Chain A
Amino acid sequence: MSAWTPNPKELAKTPSLLTPGHRLCPGCAASVIGRLVLYACPGPILIAHATGCFEVATTIFPYTCWRTSWIHNAFENAAATVSGMVEAWKVLQKRGAVPSERVYFLVFGGDGGTYDIGIQALSGAFERGHDFLYVLYDNEAYMNTGIQRSGGTPKGAWTTTTPAGRVIPGKPQWKKPIADIAVAHRIPYVATASPAYWMDLMRKARKGFEVEGPAFIHAISPCPRGWRYPPEKTIEVARLAVDTCFFPLWEYENGEWRLTDRSLAIAKNPDLKKPVIEYLKIQGRFRHLLKPENKHIVDAMQQTVDAIWEDLLKRCGLA
């Protein structure tokens, strides 16, 4: 596999397949992630999209932000839809109905469409081994319907269905380990990514496109509306997620685990690892956790983050 390095100067001159003019909220990370992933694509591309903010805000009829062919089927079936696209395309190539050059198939899905309602179709598509890259932009709740908890919402977070109540202060459960679930399918490539570490994200997207078979990228996608922070802080929040090891950057390739970019630096120099509270305190969705009576929740979150990080170090042979 080629060691591709993005050239930001060149890429800045290239028009993106995702055009400006979309109606995502200011500060939404989804379009940032989308653009970076599209820049990393080595050739012609077809896109399938699960229902969600990104889908809705980029395709309000009669407008579209997509310069290539794009399909939205339903909420839970983007991976099944792309299965049909990939396998049908091969037959059409064999029959000479479409050109023989390699076409890359990309799926965008949010956390609801991936962790929850879409996991069956995703798991099935992984098992069958179709050649596609699935990018999960994880804004950690059903943002499109107004911030309801999902399997991707972290413990302690306020959402409109896990309000910070007097008895139950936010979501009681931890995030589902979705990328680990992808790895458990033994697909060729799985990675986590953050738009704050955008070179890392693009390199991973490139690998995801290039491998043959399913690839999965789990990108953290801060949401100013749902996470309750000012829109200009998106990249800062995305960076703190990594710097606190709340969302470590890693990749799984050919059966091997590797830490990448900032997370690798933290592994080499643990002094760089920031406490989780730094990540929590700049987001309104965790504000209630700053009350003294909820300190035990923050402590529990720090413990979980540390335990997951230690486990990850072991998997990467760095413990």
Chain B
Amino acid sequence: MTAITKKVEQKLLGLNGDEAVARAIKQCNVDFVAAFPITPQTIIVERFSEYVANGEVDTAFVCVESEHSALSACVGAAAVGARAFTATASQGLALMHEIVYIASSLRLPIVMAIVNRALSGPINIHCDHHDSMAERDACWIQFYCEDAQEAYDTTIQAFRIAEHPDILLPVMYMMDAFLISHTMQNVWVLPDEVVKEFVGYRKIPEVEIPFYGKVPFAMRPNVPLTLGPLDLFDYYYEHKMQQQAAMERAPDIIKKVHDEYAEISGRRYGDGMIVPYKVEDADIVLMCIGSTAGTARVAADLARQEGVKVGVLRIRSYRPFPAHQVRELLKGVKVVGVLDRCGPYGAIGGPLYVETCATLYHAKERPLLVDFIYGLGGRDMSVQDLRGIIAELVDVMRTESPEPTLRFRGVRE
């Protein structure tokens, strides 16, 4: 986060990531929240239920019987025109998988907070990125937050992005389990009315229906809007291309909303898509997503004290992936260490590595690339571990050989 002059008086509160999200949802005029508990997301819906029970919000709050139904209910709510939110993690997201695709294909601007937790089995409640990585092709906009403050800020931005008439895609934004969700942090909170004004109420765009003319793109009695019809080889592909077109428009809107939000909050996360740290003159760059970025910056600074020019590149928007910026920012960099908190299982590397490889393939000058798998099931990643990784990358730079390109760090011998 880069602080600029704050335009609005804000309150500094001690909140963990889950509480910060619940607070933001309360401020966002959300019409509908579906809730199902799963560690480490549960605090979000617990806090929100307190707002409901105390009459602080007039949101429809429905405690459903599964995550599958949570997202299904959000689809129903968003289809009638409501601003809908839910939150989940791990198995819950995996259970939703089927509806994740349906929500984006129906162009419903649902917003969903994901607390990244390892997938079973074996069952584990701690952080890694398997759960949300399994949804990366579902045509949802995907943000990875670095801390509770960013989770708060991203919640508020998410509705504006999802509901933008040029986008109409759902947004999921991620927080690392416990590292963000349960870690108390000083969080700047905007006044309610400022958030309310920023997000407004959900505006329903119009669509043209044969014989009826323009109608709201939301379910209304006596309006023959058919959502989710059978769509075969003659039209399915064109509908998927519309989703692709929306995703291609997304970077501009993400940056615009991020800029507007920075105006009132004084907080920036790079350009909203990608967050570089001391990358301009770097020989070595650590590339990552999520909470590890903060640790990586500390390790980079320590390395710089020893004369090794290290930078950090954090991907904030994983979907759409900021490929162009990655190519530009990595120009002149000699070695990139990609940090993947997700297993490669038969692939050449973790998902961020594969994405980065593909991104750099068309670059004229390519840095050497090494993938470090780390932190599965919540295994800690310390500054010391990252200094070890930097030392390996220095070796790669010296020997000009990245082999082996796939390395597992933090595994007990």
Contacts and interface: CB of A to CB of B under 8 A. Distances in A.
A70 B229 CA distance: 9
Contacts of B405: none
A145 to B, nearest CB: 14
A300 interface: no
A120 interface: yes
Interface string B198-221: 000100000000000000001111
Contact of A71 (B63, B66, B76): B76
Interface in A1-59: 44-46, 48, 55-56, 59
A80 B77 contact: no
B229 A80 contact: no
A294 to B, nearest CB: 39
A175 to B, nearest CB: 24
B45 to A, nearest CB: 15
A88 B72 CA distance: 13
Contacts of A46: 80, 219-221
A197 interface: no
B72 A81 contact: yes
A94 interface: yes
Contacts of A64: 224, 226, 229
B111 to A, nearest CB: 14
Contacts of B230: 55-56, 59-61
Given A82-B76, A84-B74, A87-B32, A69 B227 contact: yes
Nearest to A47: B219
A278 interface: no
A61 B222 contact: no
A97 B29 CA distance: 13
Chain A: interface size category: 35 or more
A181 B218 CA distance: 33
A166 interface: no
B123 interface: no
B64 A80 contact: yes
A89 B31 CA distance: 9
Contact of B65 (A84, A90, A127): A127
B60 A88 contact: yes
B223 A69 contact: yes
A60 B68 CA distance: 26
A272 interface: no
Nearest to A64: B226
B62 interface: yes
B345 interface: no
Contacts of B394: none
B75 interface: yes
A296 interface: no
B112 interface: no
Nearest to B32: A88
Nearest to B218: A69
Contacts of A120: 65-66, 69
A71 B227 contact: yes
B228 interface: yes
A37 to B, nearest CB: 16
A84 B62 contact: yes
A76 B62 CA distance: 18
Nearest to B62: A87
B72 A80 contact: yes
Contact of B69 (A62, A83, A89, A103): A83
A84 B72 contact: yes
B65 A92 contact: no
Interface in A65-122: 66-74, 76-77, 80-92, 94-95, 97-98, 103, 120-121
A70 B80 CA distance: 10
A124 interface: yes
Contact of B222 (A67, A88, A124): A67
Given A81-B72, A124-B64, 4 more contacts: A70-B224, A88-B31, A97-B201, A124-B69
15 contacts: A46-B80, A68-B223, A70-B225, A70-B227, A73-B76, A77-B69, A80-B76, A85-B77, A87-B32, A87-B62, A88-B78, A90-B60, A97-B201, A103-B221, A120-B65
Which A-B residue pairs are the 7 nearest by beta carbons? A84-B76, A44-B221, A124-B65, A84-B73, A69-B219, A88-B77, A80-B69
